[in-house]
Amino acid sequence: AQSVTQLGSHVSVSEGALVLLRCNYSSSVPPYLFWYVQYPNQGLQLLLKYTTGATLVKGINGFEAEFKKSETSFHLTKPSAHMSDAAEYFCAVFFSGGYNKLIFGAGTRLAVHP
């Protein structure tokens, strides 16, 4: 069955520290992978996506993610956290091959401390 798992519902980092948000998926078909950010009382904003090609994907606001097929992972990183990065982050996976479903992880709330 297709599934998306985000490890850690809450992550706390200091300003300037590395941000690492983890996402693993289960799929028998090649997936399309996404990271979204949601600020309080707002909608979803696309950070980055992987469909085909280069496995290291750069997105907005200094975020990047690497697709590792062997590990079925798509972890999100940012070298230096800013206070403005505090938000909830969602990993999403589109399962093709007849399934045609975009499934989200449960989300990770990122807190950034001064």
Q: Which is nearer to another protein, 81 or 105 (CB)?
A: 105
> Binding segment for another protein among 18-26, 58-66, 77-85, 86-94 (CB under 8 A)?
86-94
Task: Check residue 103 for interaction with another protein (CB under 8 A).
Answer: yes
Task: Check residue 86 for interaction with another protein (CB under 8 A).
Answer: no
Burial degree of 95 (CB within 10 A; 0-12, 13-18, 19+): buried
Q: Which is nearer to another protein, 31 or 112 (CB)?
A: 31
Cα dist from 67 to 43, 52, 82, 86, 102, whole Å? 25, 10, 24, 24, 17
For the chain, the distance separating the N- and C-terminal CA atoms, rounded to the nearest angstrom, is: 41
Q: How far is the CB of 9 from another protein (least distance, A)?
A: 7
